[in-house]
Amino acid sequence: MTQTRADLSGWWRRKPLSVAAMTGLLAVGTAVVVPATAASASTKSASLSHIGGSVNVWAEWTSTEQEDFQAVLSPFEDETGITVNYSGKGSNMDTAIDAAVAGGAPPQVALVPDPGTLLALAAKHEIQPLNSVIGSEASDYGTAWNDLVTYDGKLYGVWFKGANKNTIWYNPAEFAAAGIKSTPTTWQGLLADAATLKAAGITPFSLCTDIGWPVADLWQNVYLKTAGAASYDALAKHDIPWTSPTVTTAFTTLAQLVGNPSYLLGGTKGALSETYPLCADKVFPKPGTMPQAAMVIEADFVVSEITSNEPSATAGTVAAGGKKCTANPADSPCYDFFPFPAPAADQKNNSAIQGSGDVAMLLRSTPQAKALVKYLGSPEAGDIWAHLGGFASPNKLVPLSDYPDPVTKADADELIHATSFVFSLDDQQGSWEPSLWQDMLNFVKNPSASSISSIEATMQKQATAALGH
């Protein structure tokens, strides 16, 4: 079972920050560095308390995710004497940080969910390079991660939280009730299972739509699995037009799912009104209600919502004590995922993974802010949320043993060791990202061939206007 934040406070008392991490924080936080060979636990605490002061940090996390992040911040505050003032901005994080920078009152540290915002701020010299803050520890991340936040040869961000978007989360009890004994490995198999669920009286999908980003995630998975990673990256850079046949193939493929209203909870109209995380609640509800659908297609951060709703839920297809998984969340509920499958003709793309993440950047260079950024880039910070679940760290030094169950381990392993990794395409689009989200909602509303053609033409104009080519 996933550990609670109370459990983790005890775990951190048993596992303090390493000497290397603490002296590193001290190096960016004060002018005096305690040599690693001489730093006892008491010396470290006394030295770090000299930092003191406070730091303001913004990120998108609210609700359960905010609690998890604050669990990460707690030992940093205890060890450094720095008060961290956190503000969760939800899905408006990018807009909030842009407005704060324009108004001249940004926080000292911010974590944004896309490299596009970071690179735009770096180009305007609104954020500080991190090479001297992070140092050689940048190598704890893969080259692909660092390249995404490098501008003009300088590193401007350090990744704290990754997200595996190659995931479809399902309720094992609902699959069992429909007689489905194994999860699909092809797109055609996914559609066949949807038909089987529907025939058994179970709605296949609770489709997340929100303001459009969940549909973008879904479409981007389809595009990656049909066109491949090279085309995906080219489209992200707008080196391929949105009127390309590869784009049309992705839309027409996804139309096989969203174009069948009977597969969607509430039909098309109901799906278009579904916000996140309520869409996940329909598959993994709180005790007192029953599941209304069998699957929800979203990234691994869904786990935080699942375990918040169902604290006794077991990860996997067998409940605690070897019991049978039940649909009733008050009994023995379970949850699991399977990788987003490529069509049978495109199985070569099955190993390609779409991901995203939250990257820390330094807007105001203070000792407290630099110490926090360095801490967020350390494996010690990733360890805490990894134990809580609903989290995957891009830091290669966070061991898989930190993750609380086989499902979460498999999820993190898939992200960290992907043979082909692409970053969420919409998060690389800069100013026209909200328009892209609305285009995706318009597609769900009308996934006909004529509508697809019109949407593609609109997207091509929007991308050209925003990106300049």
Q: How large is the average pLDDT for residues 39-58? A: 59
Can you give the pLDDT at residue 408?
87
Can you give the pLDDT at residue 50?
67
Task: Report the SS3 class of residue 390.
Answer: coil
Q: How large is the average pLDDT for residues 432-458? A: 97
Whether residue 50 contacts residue 103, with contact meaning beta carbons closer than 8 Å, is answered with: no
Instruction: Report the CATH fold assignment for 167-353.
Output: D-Maltodextrin-Binding Protein; domain 2 (3.40.190)
pLDDT interval class at 9 (50, 70, 90)? very low
Query: CB-based burial of residue 248 (10 Å sphere; 0-12 exposed, 13-18 middle, 19+ buried)?
Result: middle
Instruction: Report the CATH fold assignment for 5-163+356-423.
Output: D-Maltodextrin-Binding Protein; domain 2 (3.40.190)
Q: Is the pLDDT of residue 86 over 60?
A: yes
Encoded amino acid at 346, one letter: D
Can you give the pLDDT at residue 226?
98
Give the residue with greater pLDDT, 451 vs 15. 451
* CA distance to 347, 378, 409, 410, 420, per residue, from 417 (Å): 18, 19, 12, 10, 9
pLDDT, averaged across the chain: 88
Cβ contacts of 18 within 8 Å, gap of 6 or more: 380
- Ranked by mean pLDDT, the top range of 249-263, 305-319, 427-441 is 249-263
Total count of residues recorded for the chain: 469
Q: How many Å is the Cα radius of gyration of the chain? A: 22
Q: How large is the average pLDDT for residues 137-159? A: 92
pLDDT digits (tens, 9 = 90+) for 348-384: 999 899 988 999 999 999 999 999 999 999 999 999 9
Q: How large is the average pLDDT for residues 279-292? A: 97
Q: How large is the average pLDDT for residues 334-361? A: 94
pLDDT interval class at 404 (50, 70, 90)? confident
Report the 3 state secondary structure along 412-468: HHHHHCCCEEEECCHHHCHHHHHHHHHHHHHHHHCCCHHHHHHHHHHHHHHHHHHHC
Neighbours of 351 (CB within 10 A): 15
Evaluate whether 5-163+356-423 and 167-353 have a shared fold.
yes
Can you give the pLDDT at residue 434?
95
Query: CB-based burial of residue 443 (10 Å sphere; 0-12 exposed, 13-18 middle, 19+ buried)?
Result: buried
Q: Is the pLDDT of residue 319 over 90?
A: yes
Can you give the pLDDT at residue 287?
94
Neighbours of 32 (CB within 10 A): 9
> Any idea what DSSP says for residue 115?
H
Where exactly are the structural domains of the chain? 5-163+356-423, 167-353
Neighbours of 230 (CB within 10 A): 12
Q: How large is the average pLDDT for residues 84-97? A: 93
Which tokens belong to 415? 């992200």
- Lowest average pLDDT, out of 39-48, 59-68, 378-387, goes to 39-48
Q: Is the pLDDT of residue 405 over 90?
A: no
pLDDT above 70 as % of the chain: 89
Report the 3 state secondary structure along 453-465: HHHHHHHHHHHHH
Give the residue with greater pLDDT, 27 vs 367. 367
Neighbours of 109 (CB within 10 A): 26
Can you give the pLDDT at residue 31?
31
Q: How large is the average pLDDT for residues 202-206? A: 98
Distance, CA of 24 to CA of 158 (rounded, Å): 15
pLDDT interval class at 413 (50, 70, 90)? confident
